[in-house]
Copies of this chain bind each other. A is one copy, B any other.
Amino acid sequence: MTQALEKHLLGHAPLSNTTLKEFTSKFRYKEFLKKEYILQAGEICDFEGFVVNGMVRVFYLDEKGNEHNLYFATENWWFTEIDSYSNSKPAELFIEAIENSEVLLIYKRDKVASFEKFPELETLFRVMTERVHVNLQRRMIDNLSKTAEQRYQDFIDEHPILSQRLTNIQLAAYLGISHEFLSKIRTRLARAK
């Protein structure tokens, strides 16, 4: 079950077989059905997850009941509620399977213990955290500087397969626009071709 995870980790750093086997043995395999919650706001997120199959989304539910998608995680992507995880405080975000999904979860205590035993894992996770940080910064800049139409076009160019797996509603809630507005953009772009 941990084959994809092992391959993913080795793609980032040359880990010894001992480190790799011991670390991946700490992960627990779980299946979630489409629409099942992996984490609900208010709970403490004491795990980090890796998607083997399927897709999850991390989202914020505002006071008016509107959902805002922070990100999607598909095969070989990580997910967590970083604020809750890092600071052991109640989550503000939900994590939901939006396809039937197989995931590997590692609990914080196991990750911390592994970092202490194998410092090279700490380096690896620092590098991966920086990568996520770069993506988030890129997205923040795009949100400040680009129109919704440009951001939509970029998203489908950069994630052609992912965008086909998402509903209009999910994608609109990621772009920060209504799905009616997304439909308008799609119609306009289709006409322009």
Contacts and interface: CB of A to CB of B under 8 A. Distances in A.
Interface residues of A, number: 35
A131 B86 contact: yes
How many chain copies does the complex carry? 2
Interface in A59-103: 60, 62, 66, 68-70, 82-83, 86-87, 92-93
B122 A83 contact: no
A109 to B, nearest CB: 16
A129 interface: yes
Given A133-B82, A133-B133, A133-B136, A60 B141 contact: yes
The A interface, classified by DSSP as helix, strand, loop or mixed, is: helix
Most-contacted residue by chain B among A60, A87, A92 (CB, 10 A):
A60
A115 B137 CA distance: 24
Interface string A98-134: 0000000000000000010001001101110111111
